[in-house]
Amino acid sequence: MSGPQSWFVARARHRFAMTRECAVLLPGVCAALADPRQPGLDDTCLEKLLDWFRSLTWFDPTVELVQDNPCLTELISSVLALPEPSPSILSFTLQLAGILAASENRFQHLQEKLLGRLFGQDGPRGRAVWEDASVRSGWVKGVHSMVHHQPALHFLCSGGGMDVIFALQGDPSLFVASAASQLLVHMLTFSVESETSKPLSPKDCEWPACAQMIKKHVEDSLQSGSASHIEQSLKLLISLFGSCYAAWTEVLWSDIAKQIESFLMEETLQAQHMLANLLLNVARSPVFCDTEGSFWALVTSALEHLTPVQACPLAVGLLKLCKCPQDVRIQALTVLLQPMDCILRAASQPLEYAGLLDESVSDPVTVESLLSSKTSCAGLLCQTLAHLEKLLSLKHLRVDLPYVSLLRSLMAILQFCNGLLSPASPLGTTISRNLINCFRVQKSALDVLAALSEKKDCDTLIGSLFDVLLAYLESPNTSPTVLKKAFQATSKWLVRLQELSCSNSQCQQTEKILEDVFVVLQKRLCFPCWEVRDSSLEFLTAMIKCLRDQDGFRQCLLSSEVPRLTENLLEDPESYVRASAVTAVGHLAFVTYFAPEPPVAGNQYNKESTVAKLQEILSTDSEGFPRRAVISIFTKWLREGCTAQLEDTEQFVSRVIQTVEHDLDWEVRLGGLELVEVFCSQTICQLGLSECPYAPVSSAVTSSTPQNELLRVFCRAKLFGFLFRSLCDCDKPVGQRACDILIGLRGNFYPVSTLENPQEIEDSPAGRGIAWLQRTLRQGSLAQNFPTDGGNGVDFQDPESMMVALGAIDLLELHDELNKSSDHVEESPQSLLQDILATMGTIEENEVDCY
């Protein structure tokens, strides 16, 4: 072992070694666990105890842990001796034994007396307690922990353990069955990789004994004709090929490929849906990159023979692969698009539009029959649309999608759903009946429609597209959740529309669409359902974010009733709506108040009135959501340099933080700290002390030294009182953010090497107050009666005192304390052991930490 590596292991062993205090407590814990008279522990405590033993054994394979703590083996023996042990304690014991036996040294130490009675033929599997799923689960987990060396592998193979694991694959408990399958994958991998001296090959494959047992079991199960056995082996293979990319997996695949291929032809096989997952995991393995064609021929066969519902996940997975052959990729795309092609053909007059596909991979009648069925139509379309949305989100798709035809198909689906499309065929009539008012399909189609807005080939259909979207926005039958999706799609396509507005004709079309949108929005802002009002405000905010610099958009917005209606919603009875209204009004300000060319004077936009309303919400609203929205908007205004148009920025910040520092919602207080951070950064930049990431404040400051003026500005704004009080906030994120800000500020006044001498501070005029402040801050959230300005000799508005405080208070120590986990003491192994003893009544004070 190299020097650095051995040093790391030595440190890890020291860190995870058992402490003397834990060694003293452990015998009592073991005795209590083995005592059937004691009340049972909850599973959380037992799992934490197992986690501790895993950490103890991970870096230390020696036998000393067991030898130095004989209470561990005594616990195992005592539990085994009980005639009717508690299932939870027996499960814990099995897992503990497996963890201890994970190293070969400890395995040899435990094997003679205990392991056979736990995992061998004399173990619990022959007793009544085996009927409890937790015991079987503990057995499987214990074996999994133990099998990390060959003696453990041989012990299981020679002691009948393999038959038990094979049987547990079909356990009625899904957790046990899954764990047994994962165990077999681990054993197969470990056996091949630890017991073979040369790589396996199809011509010369001598499988190790354990691996051969598992391989034969898989092959026999696949050929058994038993649906349950076939399914169990397919699950094992899916897990194996999904996690192991060793070269020998190609040898295993060559031995089972024919059987897998035969399953594709069996229409009655219940596990056909699993074949797609298996083939996809095999296709992802780098081992099969250079396969000449037999594997990909099997994939092609699967795309042809699996049902559309089964084949779609395989198809979309193949389309995401880098190394998939192009002909297979095109075939996968064809499978995925078949339902959309069927929709387009059912909705169009013959020869009106070309379909999506030139030819089908499988029989189109199958897809038509699924879409004709009320029970399967929506499910197939939702699955297809979800896959398409994922594909459209990929940056690099290695096959061309027919975007225009896809958009036509989406519009047809949406029109089928709201009854606005007259079907052109009997199939279309049936599909229309199946989809009418189907919210699931509407939402999925609108998601794909939004994703298509980034594809440039769809521009020719933009007029028809907005006809469909506006129909959804206007219809009283559109559900609130569908309306939200329609708004999201509309906002994305409006951005695309603005990008196209170059010619006069296009500009006229854009203006007409915007006018129609704002007419609908005015109605929706007054809708009785609060979810609709909320979605409408979110839509308005999204539009302003993207389009506020566009003249046409600003004109349509300001000529409508939308701004007035939005301000009215600041008084909405629903708090979510008020919060969305605050955000929308805040963004409207960029068009009405803060624009380079704001609306003419004397109009209905009164910035002072609006700001007063927002400040009133921040001060008086009974719900937290609107108050959080206000502080977020104020911070955004400050960050973009807009607050100087309202009043002096320093006064604005001071007024806001004096409001939020007493707010009961910690997220509002945290938002106040974000506002302070932006203000500090801007002020520091303006005074030339650093480069500023935000727009600078506009009020000019002059002074003899920038640092002195900086202190005076911060003191006048009452920042320091807010920041130091926040260090003792009962909500840790607030204290952490305040500490980060203070540490950043201190760097502008004190280089690291010139911090104040604590003794000199004691002798300064403000020294006693600062010393008291230091002691108070160390109490953190437990501090009582935190001083107000001037209290206990601490003047938070005195620049000299604050200069001393920044240099004297150990902010880095406070930072470390604030960033410690709140349960770093309670979750220590020592505390865990104490809690277990307390819970089981062996400590007088029966008090337990709350995890």
Q: What per-residue confidence (pLDDT) applies to 567?
A: 95
Domain residue spans in the chain? 9-159, 307-457, 625-689+705-782+790-809
Write the pLDDT tens digit of every residue in 316-359. Answer: 999 999 888 888 999 999 999 999 999 998 987 655 555 566 56
Q: What per-residue confidence (pLDDT) applies to 315?
A: 95
**91 contacts 97 by C-beta, under 8 angstroms:** no
User: CA dist 521 to 525, 543, 634, 708, Å?
Assistant: 6, 12, 26, 52
Instruction: Look at residues 293, 209, 218 and name the one whose alpha carbon lies nearest to residue 249.
Output: 218
CA 15 to chain CA centroid, nearest Å: 31
- Do the first three CATH levels of 9-159 and 625-689+705-782+790-809 match, i.e. the same topology? no
Q: What letter does residue 422 receive in the DSSP assignment?
A: -
User: Burial level of 497, CB count in 10 A (0-12/13-18/19+)?
Assistant: buried
Kindly report the three-state secondary structure assignment for every residue of 203-248: CCCCCCHHHHHHHHHHHHHHCCCCHHHHHHHHHHHHHHHHHCCCCH
Q: Report pTM.
A: 0.84
User: CA dist 529 to 536, 577, 621, 816, Å?
Assistant: 11, 11, 21, 48
Q: What per-residue confidence (pLDDT) applies to 843?
A: 44
- How is 44-72 classified by DSSP, letter by letter? HHHHHHHHHHHHHHHS--SSHHHHH-THH
Q: What per-residue confidence (pLDDT) applies to 849?
A: 41
Domain covering 625-689+705-782+790-809, topology: Leucine-rich Repeat Variant (1.25.10)
**Block residue for tokens 């951070």:** 677
Write the pLDDT tens digit of every residue in 144-193. Answer: 999 999 999 999 988 889 999 999 999 999 999 999 999 999 999 999 98
Listed as ranges, residues in the chain with pLDDT below 70 are 1-16, 112, 197, 199-205, 290-292, 349-362, 501-505, 596-605, 644-647, 689-704, 751-768, 780-793, 821-827, 841-851
Instruction: Look at residues 796, 653, 808 and name the one whose alpha carbon lies nearest to residue 712.
Output: 796
Q: Does domain 9-159 have CATH number 3.40.210?
A: no
**233 contacts 269 by C-beta, under 8 angstroms:** no
User: CA dist 258 to 134, 188, 233, 254, Å?
Assistant: 38, 21, 15, 8
**738 contacts 726 by C-beta, under 8 angstroms:** yes
Phi and psi dihedrals of 281, rounded to 5? -65, -40
Instruction: Look at residues 839, 767, 781 and name the one whose alpha carbon lies nearest to residue 809.
Output: 767
Determine the Cα–Cα distance for residues 172 and 183; give it in Å rounded to an integer: 17
**409 contacts 338 by C-beta, under 8 angstroms:** no
Q: What per-residue confidence (pLDDT) applies to 808?
A: 86
User: Burial level of 720, CB count in 10 A (0-12/13-18/19+)?
Assistant: buried
